[in-house]
Amino acid sequence: MSLWAITPIKSFKRPKSRLSDVLTLEDRRVLVKFMLKGILLSQRKSKLFANYLIVTEDNNVVVYVKKLGFKAFLQKKPGLNNGITEASKRAIKGGAKGILIIHGDIPRTSSSILQSVAKKHKKLIKTYKQGITISPDSAGEGTNCMVCTPPDLIKFKYGPGSCLAHLETAHRAGIQVRLYRSKKLEFDIDRDADLSKLIKKSGYTNVKEYIDSIRNE
């Protein structure tokens, strides 16, 4: 199966505004770039993907990922669902049989985790030929990672409550779905408490120490 990776990243201009009480704008940019880099390098290391699509509304993202050896494209219409839909269409034109969509703010992602998700999805496809595999966030509400075969199998419903929305969409269409629960994939960075957990897991005692440690990574 020709599997393509899709990573949406809206912008570096004012990222992670909900962390503005504990991080300056520049520090938030440092954090977002560091997490995105980790996601992309994990994708490459996994050797799962025929190609990588980074979709964004910000040319600064295009410039940044180019330095890492990746290509991003500017979406035509704003919004997360529009960007992912445009990326999925590009993947289909490029010959993709399936896509793995993962957000850029899941810092504990690794190549082995991506391989495990893909393995579970492969079992689903072997039996049913098509379907989706979803890895939700810790609350079971968001869709942190999703694999779709074929890429345009369902209409994307990202936003608040997206996990349930994707499950309901698939159910109504008679599409097979599998859930993949992972402590690493469910851990995303949206709130102060998430950042505190990340800092602790990384072995640092405060925000400044952690941001300084990743600033030049």
Chain-wide mean pLDDT for the chain? Answer: 96
Distance CA 59, CA 53 (A): 14
Long-range (24+ apart) CB contacts under 8 A made by 165-171 are 166/132, 166/134, 167/134, 170/132
Band of residue 16 on the pLDDT scale cut at 50, 70, 90: very high
Residue 217 has pLDDT above 90, yes or no: no
Q: Which CATH number goes with the domain that contains 186?
A: 3.90.550.10
- Least confident range from 91-95, 113-117, 199-203: namely 199-203
**Which pLDDT does position 1 carry in this prediction?**
63
The percent of residues above 90 in pLDDT, for the chain, comes to: 97
Q: Measured in Å, how far apart are the chain's first and last C-alpha atoms?
A: 34
- Bridge partners for 102 per DSSP: 145
**Which pLDDT does position 103 carry in this prediction?**
97
Question: pTM of the entire structure?
Answer: 0.96
- Mean pLDDT computed over 113-131: 97
Domain extent at residue 137: 3-214
- Domains of the chain: total: 1
pLDDT for 140-197, tens place per residue?
999 999 999 999 999 999 999 999 999 999 999 999 999 999 999 999 999 999 999 9
Assess contact for 36 and 52: CB atoms under 8 A: no
